[in-house]
């Protein structure tokens, strides 16, 4: 990684852990903007290692919030997940707790100028541990394991995720959860995109998995606003959800609205995913 940036004096690299508050304090010295992406994120890994998942995803978030406030960081954007909405597994539960911590961090910072917001999206296409590189690794075997033929997932590219983070930095007042509008895809269509001639082994849903993912729950609908390319869930604490500066030109969603991978208005088809795989084959499984 250091070779990528050469001798740019603005860039430093630290070996550390979000569980180590002192190391965070040192790493954040002189830093204005932080993107929090550290997490134990693989659902089965979290189910079988719950103590470790909590230490990273919850205690790590607490350490980062404290360190950012103490070091005078201006803006912090934390990466969330569709699994944090109405969570059905430990990973989702810890990320929901993390989201709540970052939202409350705006109150916790007191008179300091540090502001915290969250971005939430679905599976980053081709990321390590995700289904696309997993299926690609099994192409030569000619058989793919399928949990449930009805399963759907949100799909987002790395570039789209980064764009949402930049938008959050420019738009945030503090306490917002930004939800990117992205397409859904059925698990069988993902399999057909990767290996059109493969057979399927129906293995059943793994511990902690959902048939369909959710990014906005009906309970969130009371403070959720819609924009051209995203939704914004406003915080309920301190009546911040009524703040015109946070609402901007957003349109209030109906009460009871939910945004799930099966009720999505936008869908990715087999040809579109196959084209994306062809264009990004060198990067799949490396991010």
The two three-digit tokens of residue 50, written as one number: 């719950």
Domain boundaries of the chain, sorted by first residue: 16-279
Q: Which helix (H) or strand (E) holds 146?
A: strand 143-146
CA distance 85 to 28: 30
Fold that domain 16-279 belongs to in CATH: Rossmann fold (3.40.50)
Can you give the pLDDT at residue 6?
A: 65
Indicate if the pLDDT at residue 176 is higher than 90: yes
Please report the DSSP string for 63-79 in residue order: HHHHHHHHTT-SEEEEE
**Residues tagged active-site:** 83
Distance from C-alpha of 87 to C-alpha of 82, rounded to nearest angstrom: 9
- What percent of the chain is modeled with pLDDT above 70? 98
pLDDT value at 223 more than 80 = yes
Res. 207: pLDDT tops 90: no
First to last CA, the chain: 12
For the segment 87-105, what is each residue's pLDDT rounded down to a tens digit?
999 999 999 999 999 999 9
Q: Is the pTM of this model over 0.85?
A: yes
Residues found in the chain = 287
pLDDT tens, residue by residue, 122-138: 989 988 878 999 999 99
Residues in CB range of 35: below 8 A, 6 or more apart:
76, 77, 78, 79, 165
**Which helix (H) or strand (E) element contains residue 207?**
none
Is the pLDDT confidence value at 9 over 90?
Answer: no
**Confidence grade of residue 68 (pLDDT, cut at 50, 70, 90):** very high
């Amino acid at each position: 990684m250091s070779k990528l940036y050469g001798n740019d004096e603005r860039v430093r690299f630290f070996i550390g852990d979000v569980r180590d508050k002192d190391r965070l304090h040192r790493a954040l010295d002189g830093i204005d903007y932080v993107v929090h992406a550290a997490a134990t994120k693989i659902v089965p890994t979290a189910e079988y290692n719950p103590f470790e998942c909590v230490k990273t995803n919850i205690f790590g978030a607490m350490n980062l919030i404290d360190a950012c406030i103490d070091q005078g960081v201006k803006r912090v954007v934390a990466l969330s997940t569709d699994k944090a909405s109405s969570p059905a597994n430990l990973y989702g539960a810890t990320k929901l707790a993390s989201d709540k911590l970052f939202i409350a961090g705006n109150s916790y910072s007191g008179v300091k100028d540090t502001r915290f917001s969250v971005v939430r999206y679905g599976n980053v296409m081709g990321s390590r541990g995700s289904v696309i590189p997993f299926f690609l690794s099994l192409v030569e075997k000619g058989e793919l394991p399928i949990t449930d033929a009805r399963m759907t997932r949100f799909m987002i590219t790395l570039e789209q995720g980064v764009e949402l983070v930049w938008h959050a930095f420019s738009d945030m007042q503090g306490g917002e959860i930004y939800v990117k509008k992205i397409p859904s895809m059925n698990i069988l269509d993902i399999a057909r995109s990767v290996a059109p001639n493969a057979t399927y082994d129906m293995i059943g849903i793994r511990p902690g998995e959902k048939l369909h993912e959710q990014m906005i729950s009906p309970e969130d609908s009371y403070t959720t606003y819609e924009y051209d390319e995203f939704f914004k869930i406003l915080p309920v604490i301190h009546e911040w959800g009524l703040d015109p500066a946070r609402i901007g030109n957003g349109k209030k969603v109906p009460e009871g609205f939910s945004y799930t991978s099966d009720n999505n208005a936008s869908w990715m088809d087999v040809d579109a995913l196959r084209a994306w795989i062809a264009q990004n084959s060198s990067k799949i499984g490396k991010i």
